[in-house]
Structure 1
Amino acid sequence: MPTDQFALSSDLINELLRGMRLRGVEYRRIQAGPTFGLGFAAKPGHAWFHFLAVGNAVLQMEDGTTYALTAGNAIFIAHGAAHQLLSHTDVPVQDIDRLDGAPLGDAVSAVDTGTDASPTPTTVLFSGCMEFELGSIHGLGRLMPGLMLIDAGGQRYPGLVPILTTMEREVSAARIGFAGILARLADVVAAMVVRGWVECACGNASGLVAALRDPRLANALLALHQQPGRDWTVAQLAEQCNTSRSVFADRFQMTIGMAPLRYVTELRMRLASQWLTLERLPIEEVAQRLGYTSQAAFSRAFKRITGKTPGLSRQSRQSAVS
């Protein structure tokens, strides 16, 4: 990849990762003996992450597909699909939510599935479930594969093993403040997973992923995400890519699947939802940030795209969390 294209892609990935959010993270340290079967129910809107620190396991998806795992392997299930982690495919399965867990701290628990026969567990898993939001890059989360098998020690994820090992150590030691450290480390792990996917796993992908890797569109996307409140025209966006208005508009529509100005509007409303519900910004401030001349104009645009008023959207989010 030429240097200038790599630098541009790096800027876009930085923009993506800055907007990524993990919410409602729940962690488990799972210790198991030679025989175990753990079931993880489907959780739409969430992601599952598992790191096999010690031992071997079999991952079985809902359709029956199985994958052999060894120590150092990790799993990222972006859309919260149901799955099982097993010692063997013919063992009885227990729902992980029905197993008693000893609380180790805020949103962290230890689960022991029966290691009494051995002083040392033969399998140690680090597991997390979280709401996973890929920030302002419209629709990127939907493009991620449902299952990502990660060789934590491989070249695609340099530096991942020490972070995962540190997470496991923090859970085991349960030192003061470890839950906050886990939350920050989880952000880093998720960012590494997303970066590895964009860099290496989607070279032939269509849609937004292809646009992220296309220097003929990347400048415009970067400008949009850095200045979402600017009163953009298609001609101005085309200038960012040193191409004509018609060529840019056609390529944008063909690659991303929507017209440039429609993308601008949806980007603004996606940012508005985050600022209103997560950062709790006043509606008037959100409207100003996004370039609207009045709160009323912003509210009309927000309802047209999301189907809700800004105030109702904030209340719905509060109700879902409480």
Structure 2
Amino acid sequence: MIQGADMLIIRPDSKVPSMQTNSSELISELLMGMRLFGVQFRRIEIPKPLGVGFSNETGRAQFHFVGRGPVWLRSPGADLYRLDTGDAVLIPRGGSHGVLSTEDTLVSDVRPFALDAVIEGKRREQGICDEMGTQEDAVIFSCCMELELGGMQPLVSAMPEVLLVSTLLDTSPEIRPMLEAMERESLTLHPGHIGILARLAEVVAALIVRSWVAGGCGSATGWLSALRDPRLSRAIVMMHKHPGKNWTVASLANEANQSRSVFAQRFLLATGVSPLRYLTDLRMRLAFLSLSREHQPVEIVASQLGYGSLAAFSRAFKRSVGLSPSAVRAANTLADQTMRTIAG
């Protein structure tokens, strides 16, 4: 199995934004600690007239880079996008989709193929990645990952179905040299090219998310409208910066420089939940990440998130997640130990 680094962490250096900071900077502040978990890779050669189908994997994003094109992406919503050599696309919520060598071709499900089946361009099943491959075959490099935004996980559901990197290059030119490096590695097949492609793909996927966020999140609505409100966004940023503080509606209203009643009403209208419900949901997302990914002791997590009573934390966590904190921590610790044992 080809598997990349278990986790990539992007931590931009920043300070708490002021009331005058624009919405994109506020959201970027909240993206500190973005993580890509369990990244898995495939290099696939697609001769004409074939295509590769990717099934929906709940909770996992899909990234594709075109080393040699053109190819056509049939999105989860059945829209068709042409992708040329050097193009890349992120599908934040996964979903069933296909990458096609021609616009109207049939697809072969990629799941039966082992993750390491395309090393050095060799593939013998169902016509995907011919024995030797030719200069006529399309080449794509794909990776599947868990896109973890911690306390900002709702951003994933607000993202568009498809994020095309070609639409982001004008505002994020730093992505281009990464794509050029990926193009070279995907075609030269030098020793270690899979590992290098894997790391580049992780960085490009992270840059795509950052670019979309910095651009104001497109036309996304709902709770994101609160982040475009300079007063509400100040309170939200402070909750994310200090989730363990003993916040009250009054203290949050003070951060927003509003009266308690006006703040509570506007917050509910913008987000659909009360300020304290938002805080509880944020704490539970962070708690789940700390327990399941970082395996922190339950007592420490409870204390860091402002719970003076372990029992109160456990009740809130189980009400939100459906499992006790200790059960979540134990299950994921065992899974990691098993993977380390298998890896030798």
Assess same fold via TM > 0.5.
yes
Q: Deviations over 1:262-297 (max 9, x none)?
A: 111111111110001100100111111111112222
1:223 matched to 2:223: no
1:135 matched to 2:150: yes
1:191 to 206, 209, 213: 206
Q: CA RMSD in A?
A: 2.9
CA distance in 1, matches of 2:292, 2:226: 28
Q: Check 1:225–1:100 CA distance in 2 against 1; reply closer, same or farther (3 A cut).
A: closer
Q: For 1:21, what is the secondary structure of its paired residue?
A: strand
5+ unaligned residues in a row in structure 2: which ranges?
A: 1-17, 339-344
Q: Deviations over 1:240-266 (max 9, x none)?
A: 122221221111111111000011111
1:250 matched to 2:303: no
- The farther-off stretch of 55-64 and 23-32 is 55-64
CA distance in 2, matches of 1:20, 1:129: 16
Instruction: Decide whether the 8 Å contact of 1:75 with 1:149 is kept in 2.
Output: yes
Q: For 2:62, what is the secondary structure of its paired residue?
A: strand
Cα shift at 1:203:
4.8
Corresponding residue number in structure 2 for 1:40: 54
1:13 matched to 2:28: yes
Q: Check 1:152–1:320 CA distance in 2 against 1; reply closer, same or farther (3 A cut).
A: farther
Cα shift at 1:149:
2.3
Q: Check 1:72–1:182 CA distance in 2 against 1; reply closer, same or farther (3 A cut).
A: closer
CA distance in 1, matches of 2:260, 2:248: 10
Q: Check 1:267–1:110 CA distance in 2 against 1; reply closer, same or farther (3 A cut).
A: farther
CA distance in 2, matches of 1:239, 1:281: 33
Identity among equivalent pairs (%):
42
Cα shift at 1:114:
4.3
Corresponding residue number in structure 1 for 2:192: 175
Corresponding residue number in structure 1 for 2:72: 58
CA distance in 1, matches of 2:79, 2:335: 33
Q: Check 1:110–1:243 CA distance in 2 against 1; reply closer, same or farther (3 A cut).
A: farther
5+ unaligned residues in a row in structure 1: which ranges?
A: none
- The residue correspondences of 1:1-322 to structure 2 (distance < 5 A) are 5-6=20-21, 9-16=24-31, 18-99=32-113, 102=116, 112=123, 113-114=128-129, 119-151=134-166, 154-167=169-182, 169=184, 172-175=189-192, 179=195, 184-200=199-215, 202-317=217-332
Cα shift at 1:189:
2.0
Q: Check 1:229–1:153 CA distance in 2 against 1; reply closer, same or farther (3 A cut).
A: closer
Cα shift at 1:55:
1.7
- The farther-off stretch of 42-51 and 291-300 is 291-300
CA distance in 1, matches of 2:120, 2:240: 38
- The farther-off stretch of 305-314 and 229-238 is 305-314
Instruction: Decide whether the 8 Å contact of 2:158 with 2:221 is kept in 1.
Output: no
Q: Check 1:313–1:109 CA distance in 2 against 1; reply closer, same or farther (3 A cut).
A: farther
Instruction: Decide whether the 8 Å contact of 2:41 with 2:143 is kept in 1.
Output: yes
- Decide which structure has greater strand share: 1
CA distance in 2, matches of 1:261, 1:132: 26
Letter in 2 for 1:189: V
Q: For 1:220, what is the secondary structure of its paired residue?
A: helix
CA distance in 2, matches of 1:303, 1:101: 36
Q: For 1:52, what is the secondary structure of its paired residue?
A: strand
Cα shift at 1:120:
2.7
Corresponding residue number in structure 1 for 2:7: none
TM-score normalised by structure 2 residue count: 0.80
Cα shift at 1:65:
2.7
Cα shift at 1:186:
3.8
Letter in 2 for 1:232: W
Q: Check 1:169–1:289 CA distance in 2 against 1; reply closer, same or farther (3 A cut).
A: farther
Number of aligned residue pairs: 314
